Amino acid sequence: MAFSPSNASVGLQISLLLSFFMAAFAGPFLDSFDYNWGQSNSQILNNGDLLTLSLNKECGSGFVSKNQYVYAKIDMNIKLVAGNSAGTVTAYYLSSQGQYHDEIDFEFLGNLSGDPYILHTNVFCHGQGNREQQFYLWFDPTADFHTYTILWNTQAIFFYVDGIPIREFKNLESSGIPFPSYQPMKLYSSIWDADNWATRGGLVKIDWTQAPFTASYTNFNDNNACVSYYETMTSCNTPNSNLNNNGWLWQTLDYSDQGKLKWVQDDYMIYNYCTDSKRFPQGFPPECYVNNKY
């Protein structure tokens, strides 16, 4: 095609249109995440400040962080699937790769309309999980956004809901108990079909007439995180890093937080692997004998 002023005008219009769409869809989520499956069931809205993941009968969806971390405090505001969400699982977790991977899990197990969600937590160390604790929540997680925080530091792994600690898994490596301490982990989230186990042990199946099932995300924050660059190099141990700004790396629960943790575990915990004698007839995992907060 020969060049002409009209061609140039068309080219300029296309360029401006592309720039508009790139600007419209730029924002925290595109800056921070990639889709890792089911992109057709995902949307980025509000100039990149809101992301949704959906599940239909054909496919679920998920995203993964561009950064990987060795120790991090990660906040995400999540609004869960409303209505009859039985059989669905919305997962939000840190994980490394490989057979001996580490993982820190929030999983939200859907339920029939009117029945509460179950918040399922787990910790994998060097490929070994089976450290489940489950909770009901003290609010409706489908009515509004709530903040779910993973704090993984040198002292422990803490799970928070709206700033309230619900679980603590201490670093007991000095006692020979595995703890995630060196494998970089990325942040993942997904929504998927788990009706073989998620609701009442798989007795309640997904009602596909209610699809799509949609979870929404906003206010992602990884400002307090050690981003892994190369082997043992992170943003927390580079020559220019300021350790005075990284108090979260050594954070523990103060007296007030210990009281909040006890309140949640006394009133809202519905399963604790450290008290399941039928599952562990030969004795509980070693961390359970140190104290019962795991």
pLDDT tens, position by position, 148-162:
999 999 999 999 999
Looking at residue 240, what is its pLDDT?
63
Looking at residue 10, what is its pLDDT?
44
d(CA 171, CA 247): 17
d(CA 47, CA 145): 18
d(CA 292, CA 294): 6
Looking at residue 238, what is its pLDDT?
67
Looking at residue 183, what is its pLDDT?
95
**Other Cβ atoms within 10 Å of 33 Cβ, number:** 23
Residue 245 vs residues 150, 151, 230, 236: alpha-carbon distances, Å: 18, 15, 22, 9
* Tokens matching residue 107: 């999983």
* Tokens matching residue 210: 């209610």
Mean pLDDT along residues 13-32 = 51
Which candidate, 33, 96, 52, 18, places its Cα nearest to that of 212?
52
Task: Report phi then psi at 262, rounded to 5.
Answer: -65, -40
Looking at residue 67, what is its pLDDT?
95
pLDDT band at 18 (very low <50, low <70, confident <90, very high): very low
pLDDT tens, position by position, 172-228:
999 999 999 999 999 999 999 989 888 888 888 999 999 999 999 999 999 999 999
d(CA 119, CA 108): 5
pLDDT tens, position by position, 107-155:
999 998 889 999 999 999 999 999 999 999 999 999 999 999 999 999 9
**Other Cβ atoms within 10 Å of 182 Cβ, number:** 10
Mean pLDDT along residues 85-109 = 96
- Going by the DSSP 8-state scheme, the letter that residue 154 receives in this structure is S
* Tokens matching residue 219: 């206010």
Looking at residue 231, what is its pLDDT?
67
Catalytic residues: 103, 107
Residue 5 has pLDDT above 60, yes or no: no
Considering the chain, what is the average pLDDT of its residues?
88
Which candidate, 128, 121, 89, 90, places its Cα nearest to that of 105?
121
Looking at residue 294, what is its pLDDT?
67
